[in-house]
């Protein structure tokens, strides 16, 4: 809403490509009224500067990261010969405080107009060196980086001559651009004081609770009809053996009650527009067929709406497999997942509902909660920051054909085991053999089932919590079924967390048998439906053929099916295996390269519950910072129109992927106008414009041409 | 797509066991392929593939160089290679794949080949005949069905895939072949069904025949023990015959039954036919044409059932 008020001065471009933690001067624009064309902001292009450029080149050793692979003195001598270079220096760690001081002192002493640092990558240290440039009294956008580490010394580690030459090229190119750089002024935009969390598993719930606790209104979006996610399907948690539901339910209730959380279940993110501080998110409220008391009241049905009585469930004639129980229990077309659901509102599965109307009658004329004609609705909300907590799915382990999941009845997954051992599960907590309902006496656990798998069928990564939950499963069967022996086939037991190793010893003492070896294949005895587990015992160096009653596959995990779509909406990248990409694996694990979008929990990579909760709290803290600051700075990398050159042809308007351009009448002429806030600085229009009338700030045509010339001409002008 | 009647021509790599022990495999391959629009031209001058277990486990460089020489012969004919043995597939397909993707290895191999005035260029592809049969681009199940004149109605046939065709999974380029699965494939069953026969599932289908990897040469009793276990599993489902796509597997199952009888005193009398031989019968060729009388275990009971 603040955005509306200050539209003219505050709608600025979004800085998708770069980190946002810039500390640049906040220059207040003088103009206050009317959506002004952006062209005003730049000096007339082409006449960049009358003052002769004096560029300083600073070469970083990065310890031996760079200096170990190239001849720094030679590069330094060469840099002195590049046109416009007024000063060259080198230092062991340019990013250190003394290194930065070298830069600012040189700028002042040698009256430099621009700074080139040849070091690592802008992703890492552009903000550092922009600050140093600014401290020296220059505009921070007078800084240019030459990447001679990540794209040079690291890749050509053993080619000293080659990497020295390549460093010379990179520096010459950077100097060419630096000589033409202009002063730019980032502008601040106000941040909407609301946040969004996508996914209401334990990670999303914790993030929402933290944000809400910090006084921030938070939309919590969940595609399932109720919250709790995977954790609500688990029986007990390791290593403490608390009941999962018991520790989860209070959190679910808190979420349901929090005044600052707007819980939107059975909803999906449909579209995202805007940028940090001002995301316009469209949410698809899927047709649920059942009104909440609030919705009923809004429709004038006072005292109506679903109260969770279950009368509809009792009369519904349609029977489907219950997805929450991994298909091991039936449910009706109108259903709740389990007795403790939050919110306690039934949902109609319209793909199986036959619209017989029995539920409508059963619900009765007072509540009138059921609407068989309900349709999807689109709801628009505005948020300042967003957290993705989209969680995980189980890898379809039937793809590992050698273990026979879905071919042999008594081969189950760990998630099925959780439901079977859980008191509220389909068997009331009795572990049984699916083939005959008998209690098993010998249970084999196959660890790394599809994880740490380099065959190309499974996943190469470690799923991180399977060792621990399998130990917990072993404990549960020795506890519940006297005389039952768990056989754990493992590669390594990764019991890395607090009190995990102690738990491992405890399970050993309780009588679980550990066999170090990957299971080669499993065969079923067709008569008894017992299973033969074949493996190589690598400690005893002998093959194993073990007959067991049931096999539990600790299947790998993978991102949820919807993760890909959601991440694209928010402009978040992912790694090769589909997990969402953090801004930095060590130092910014919750942030993403899209400003204002953060990651919580397993969507970023496999995590157990404690790690998920910690990550969620980190994401909530990070997402609350811009909101508490009230405003954020945006990179000034937007397109501008040089009106004298613009012919008003409008071809750029159609090309723009972000609908940031439009044609306006000005002084009797038609010219293009940029809405800076929408422009992402992609350069599509600038590259295309037949009249050269579009100026891309910081990536202007003359700057890019100078870089290409510097490379191709090898320094000759 | 499968309608194309265009003739495909391949350089036919025979290997060692087919021409020496089961000439029927060789003739069956040539004759059945002809009927399906594939010309198999002899790859003249070819040597041993060389056997992947025997050579590969002693000296990989010899293995690379000898296989590369066979590949160069096909390159000189400007043809892709077709072969009918899993062991040959492992050697020739895999060496081709490695040489195409590893410049250092290619340079090393070419240095050796220079002595015989040859150079490996990486211009040919290698296919197993079973793969050609299943792949619609070349033949496909429906075309095989159309070529059948004597359907094998009522015959229960167990399928043995053998190891080297699809294993190791990570070294096979499954995206580019039709053999999508290593652990529980069913495409050969589709081929068998196309002949009108009933493919039967049996325990531990993907187990080794017992011969490969030098096991037969090194420890015959252990090797036959593995074969025996497979035969038990196949007999359990009352199969009339076993079909394979590898002459070495065929040798192990066929001659192996005689050895098992001698050593363990167990008799199975299970006819063992290469898929090309089976296809030849279905296409109306005589058992003599297909050299079935040269098998160690008589195919007579099976022939009576299907002919």
pLDDT, tens digit, 9 for 90 and up, residues A570-624: 989 999 999 999 998 998 999 998 889 999 999 999 999 999 999 999 999 999 9
pLDDT for B174: 67
Residues of chain A found within 8 Å of residue B170, distances taken between Cβ atoms: 454-456
Torsion, Cα A570 A575 A578 A584, to 10 degrees, reads -60
Q: Do residues A634 and A275 make contact, with C-beta atoms less than 8 angstroms apart? A: yes
pLDDT, position B179: 66
Q: Please, are residues A384 and A277 in contact by the beta-carbon 8 Å criterion?
A: yes
* Confidence grade of residue B175 (pLDDT, cut at 50, 70, 90): low
Enumerate residues 6+ apart whose C-beta is below 8 A from B303: B281, B287, B292
What number is the average pLDDT over the span A213-218?
98
Full strand arrangement of the beta sheet holding A377-383? A267-275, A278-285, A377-383
The pLDDT score that the predictor gives to residue A451 is: 97
Cβ(B161)–Cβ(B188) under 8 Å?
Answer: yes
CA distances from B93 to B49, B132, B215 (A): 10, 14, 22
Instruction: Please indicate whether, in this complex, the C-beta atoms of A455 and B170 are within 8 angstroms of each other.
Output: yes
**Average pLDDT score over residue span B256-270:** 96
Confidence at residue A209, expressed as pLDDT on a 0 to 100 scale: 98
- pTM (2 decimals)? 0.82
pLDDT at A8 > cutoff 70: no
**Percentage, residues of chain B above pLDDT 90:** 84
* Token pair recorded at residue A680: 């992402």
Residue range B92-141, pLDDT digits in tens: 999 999 999 999 999 999 999 999 999 999 999 999 999 999 999 999 99
Structure confidence at residue A12 (pLDDT) = 42
A657 pLDDT exceeds 90? no
Confidence class for position B177, pLDDT limits 50, 70, 90: low
Chain A, chain B: beta-carbon pairs less than 8 Å apart: 26
Burial class (CB in 10 A: 0-12, 13-18, 19+), B164: buried
The answer to whether A400 contacts chain B (CB < 8 Å) is: yes
CA gap A555, A541 in Å, rounded: 26
For the beta carbon of residue A615, count every other beta carbon within 10 angstroms. 26
* Cβ–Cβ under 8 Å, residues A72 and A59: yes
Q: What is the pLDDT of residue A145?
A: 96
Q: Which of A347, A346, A369, A200 is nearest to A287 (CA)?
A: A347
3-state helix, strand, coil in chain A (%, to 5): 30, 25, 45
**Structure token digits, residue A713:** 């001409």
**What is the distance between the alpha carbons of residues B226 and B244, in angstroms, rounded to a whole number?**
16
Residue B176, pLDDT score:
66
Positions of E strands within A642-687? 661-666, 669-674
Compute the average pLDDT of residues A497-504: 96
Banded model confidence at residue A14, pLDDT cuts 50, 70, 90: very low
Share of chain A above pLDDT 70, in %: 93
The upper half-sphere exposure of residue A550, i.e. CA atoms within 13 Å in the direction of its Cβ, equals 25
Rounded to a whole number of angstroms, the distance from the CA of B171 to the nearest CA of chain A is 9
Yes or no: say if B65 and B107 are a contact pair by the CB < 8 Å rule. Answer: no
Q: What's the pLDDT score for residue A35?
A: 40
B184 touching A, CB under 8 A? yes
> Of the given ranges (A58-72, A150-164, A541-555, A674-688), which has the lowest mean pLDDT?
A674-688
Identify which of A400, A402, A456 has the shortest CB distance to residue B170.
A456
CB of A412 closer than 8 Å to CB of A550: yes
Nearest CA of chain A to the CA of B205: how many Å? 10
For residue A596, whether the previous peptide bond is cis, meaning omega lies within 30 degrees of 0, is no
Q: A634, A602, A599, A637: which is closest to A618 by C-alpha?
A: A599
- A367, two tokens: 């509540």
Does a cis peptide bond (omega within 30 degrees of 0) precede residue A505? Answer: no
Residue A713 DSSP label: T
Nearest CB partner across the interface for A523, out of B169, B181, B204: B204
Q: What is the pLDDT of residue A5?
A: 42
pLDDT at res. B173: 74
Contact B114, B61 (CB under 8 A): no
Which DSSP letter does residue A510 get? T
Cβ atoms of residues A593 and A580 within 8 Å: no
Q: List CB contacts of B271: < 8 A, sequence separation 6 or more.
A: B240, B241, B242, B295, B297, B298, B299, B301, B302
| A contacts of B184 (beta carbons < 8 Å) | 401-402, 404, 407
Distance (Å, whole) CA A278 – CA B63: 64
List pLDDT tens digits, range A462-486: 999 999 999 999 999 999 999 999 9
State residue A456's pLDDT score: 85
pLDDT in tens, B226-254: 999 999 999 999 999 999 999 999 999 99
| In contact, A451 and A518? CB cutoff 8 Å | no
Phi, psi of B72, deg, nearest 5: -60, -40
Q: How far apart are the first and last CA of chain A?
A: 52
B169 → closest Cβ in A404, A457, A523: A457
- Nearest CA distance, A545 vs chain B (angstrom): 13
pLDDT for position A27: 42
pLDDT of residue A539: 96
Whether residue A399 contacts residue A450, with contact meaning beta carbons closer than 8 Å, is answered with: yes
A521 touches chain B (CB under 8 A): yes
More confident residue, A27 or A695: A695
User: Among partner residues B169, B203, B204, which is closest to A455 by beta-carbon distance?
Assistant: B169
- Which of B:110-169 have CB within 8 Å of A? 168-169
Which one has a higher pLDDT value, A622 or A660?
A622
Instruction: Measure the CA–CA gap between A323 and A182, rounded to whole angstroms.
Output: 59
Task: Compute how many other C-beta atoms are within 10 angstroms of the C-beta atom of residue A461.
Answer: 17
Using one digit for the tens of pLDDT, what is the confidence trace for A125-171? 999 999 999 999 999 999 999 999 999 999 999 999 999 999 999 99
Q: Find, among A641, A662, A642, the residue nearest to A651 by Cα.
A: A662
Mean pLDDT, chain A, as a whole number? 91
User: Nearest-CA residue of chain B relative to A458?
Assistant: B170
Smallest Cα–Cα separation from A600: which of A616, A587, A614?
A616
Q: How far is B174 from chain A (nearest CA, A)?
A: 10
Instruction: Decide if pLDDT at A33 tops 50.
Output: no
The confidence score (pLDDT) of residue A679 equals 84
Region of A357 (left: φ > 0; alpha: ψ -120 to 50; beta: rest) is: left
pLDDT score of A482: 94
Is pLDDT above 50 for A447?
yes
pLDDT at residue A80, as a whole number: 96
Contact A454 B170 (CB under 8 A): yes
């Amino acid at each position: 809403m603040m955005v509306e008020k200050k539209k003219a001065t505050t709608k600025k471009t979004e800085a998708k490509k770069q980190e946002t933690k810039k500390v640049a001067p906040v220059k207040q624009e003088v103009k206050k009224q009317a959506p002004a064309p952006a062209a005003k902001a730049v000096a007339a292009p082409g006449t960049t500067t009358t003052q002769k450029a004096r560029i300083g080149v600073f070469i970083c050793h990065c310890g031996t990261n760079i200096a170990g692979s190239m001849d720094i003195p030679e590069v330094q001598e060469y840099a002195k010969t590049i046109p416009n270079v007024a000063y060259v220096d080198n230092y062991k760690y340019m990013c250190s405080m003394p290194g930065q001081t070298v830069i600012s002192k040189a700028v002042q002493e040698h009256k430099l107009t621009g700074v080139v640092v040849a070091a690592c990558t802008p992703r890492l240290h552009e903000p550092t060196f922009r600050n140093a440039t600014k401290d020296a009294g220059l505009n921070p956008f007078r800084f240019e980086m030459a990447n001679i580490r990540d794209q040079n010394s690291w890749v050509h580690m053993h080619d000293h001559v080659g990497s020295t030459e390549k460093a010379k090229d990179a520096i010459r190119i950077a100097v060419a651009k630096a000589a033409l750089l202009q002063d730019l002024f980032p502008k601040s935009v106000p941040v909407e004081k609301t946040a969004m969390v996508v996914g209401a598993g334990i990670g999303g719930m914790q993030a929402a609770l933290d944000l809400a606790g910090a006084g921030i209104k938070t939309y919590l979006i969940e595609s399932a009809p109720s919250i709790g996610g995977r954790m609500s399907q688990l029986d007990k948690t390791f290593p403490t053996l608390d009941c999962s539901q018991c520790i989860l339910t209070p959190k679910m209730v808190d979420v349901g009650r929090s005044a600052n959380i707007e819980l939107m279940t059975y909803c999906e993110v449909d579209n995202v527009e805007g940028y940090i501080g001002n995301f316009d998110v469209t949410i698809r409220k899927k047709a649920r067929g059942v009104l909440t008391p609030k919705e009923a009241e809004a429709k004038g049905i006072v005292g109506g709406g679903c109260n969770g009585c279950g009368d509809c469930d009792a009369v519904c004639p349609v029977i489907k497999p219950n997805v929450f129980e991994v298909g091991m229990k039936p449910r009706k077309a109108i259903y709740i997942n389990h007795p403790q659901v939050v919110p306690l509102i039934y949902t109609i599965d319209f793909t199986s509902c036959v619209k017989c109307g029995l539920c409508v009658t059963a619900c009765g004329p007072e509540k009138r909660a059921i609407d068989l004609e309900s349709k999807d609705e689109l709801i628009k909300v505005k948020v300042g920051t967003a957290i993705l907590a989209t969680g995980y799915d189980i890898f379809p382990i039937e793809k590992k054909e050698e273990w026979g999941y879905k071919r042999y009845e008594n081969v189950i997954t760990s998630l099925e085991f959780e439901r079977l051992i859980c008191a509220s599960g389909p068997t009331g907590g009795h572990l049984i053999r699916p083939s005959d309902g008998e209690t098993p006496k010998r249970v084999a656990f196959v660890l790394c089932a599809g994880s740490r798998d380099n065959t190309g069928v499974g996943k190469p990564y470690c799923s991180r919590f399977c060792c621990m939950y399998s130990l917990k499963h072993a404990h549960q069967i020795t506890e519940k079924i006297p005389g039952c022996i768990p056989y754990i086939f493992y590669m390594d037991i990764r019991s890395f967390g607090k009190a995990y190793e102690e738990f491992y010893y405890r399970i050993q003492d309780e009588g679980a048998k550990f066999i170090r070896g990957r299971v080669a294949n499993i065969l079923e005895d067709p008569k008894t439906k017992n299973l033969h587990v074949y493996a190589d015992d690598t400690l005893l160096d002998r093959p194993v053929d073990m007959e067991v009653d049931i096999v539990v596959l600790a299947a790998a995990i993978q991102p949820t099916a919807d993760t890909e779509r959601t991440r694209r909406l928010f402009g978040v990248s992912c790694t090769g295996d589909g997990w969402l990409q953090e801004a930095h694996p060590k130092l910014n694990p919750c942030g993403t390269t899209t400003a204002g979008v953060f990651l919580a929990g397993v969507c970023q990579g496999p995590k157990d519950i404690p790690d998920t909760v910690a990550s969620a709290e980190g994401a909530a803290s990070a997402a609350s910072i811009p909101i508490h600051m009230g405003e954020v700075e945006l990179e000034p990398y937007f397109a501008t129109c040089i009106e004298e050159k613009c012919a008003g042809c409008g071809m750029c308007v159609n090309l723009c992927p972000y609908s940031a351009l439009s044609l306006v009448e000005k002084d009797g002429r038609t010219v293009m106008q940029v809405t800076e806030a929408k422009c992402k600085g992609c350069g599509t229009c600038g590259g295309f414009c037949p009249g050269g009338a579009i100026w891309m700030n910081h990536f202007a045509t003359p700057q890019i041409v100078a870089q290409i010339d510097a490379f191709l001409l090898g320094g000759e002008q | 797509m499968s309608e194309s009647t265009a003739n495909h021509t391949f350089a036919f790599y025979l290997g060692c066991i087919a021409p020496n022990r089961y000439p029927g495999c060789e003739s069956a391959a040539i004759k059945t392929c002809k009927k399906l629009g594939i010309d198999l031209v002899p790859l003249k001058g070819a040597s041993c593939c060389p056997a992947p277990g025997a050579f590969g486990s002693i000296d990989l460089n010899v293995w690379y160089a000898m296989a590369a020489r066979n590949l160069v012969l096909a390159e000189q004919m400007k043809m892709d290679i077709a072969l009918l043995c899993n062991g040959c597939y492992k050697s020739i397909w895999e060496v081709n794949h490695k040489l195409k993707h590893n410049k250092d290895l290619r340079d090393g191999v070419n240095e050796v080949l220079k002595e015989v005035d040859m150079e490996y260029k990486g211009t040919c592809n290698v296919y197993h005949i079973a793969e050609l049969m299943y792949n619609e681009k070349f033949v496909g199940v429906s075309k095989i069905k159309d070529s059948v004149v004597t359907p094998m109605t009522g015959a229960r046939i167990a399928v043995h895939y053998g190891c080297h065709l699809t294993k190791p999974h990570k070294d096979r380029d499954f995206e580019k072949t039709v053999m999508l699965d290593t652990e529980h494939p069913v495409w050969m069953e589709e081929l068998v069904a196309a002949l009108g026969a009933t493919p039967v599932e049996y325990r531990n289908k993907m187990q080794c025949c017992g011969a490969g990897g030098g096991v037969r040469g090194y420890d015959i009793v252990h090797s036959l023990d593995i074969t025996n276990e497979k035969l038990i599993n196949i007999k359990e489902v009352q199969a009339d015959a076993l079909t394979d796509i590898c002459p070495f597997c065929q040798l192990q199952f066929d001659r192996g039954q005689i050895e098992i009888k001698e050593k363990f005193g167990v008799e199975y009398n299970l006819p063992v036919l290469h898929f090309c031989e089976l296809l030849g019968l279905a296409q109306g060729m005589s058992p003599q044409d297909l050299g079935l009388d040269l098998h160690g275990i008589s195919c007579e009971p099976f022939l009576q059932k299907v002919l």
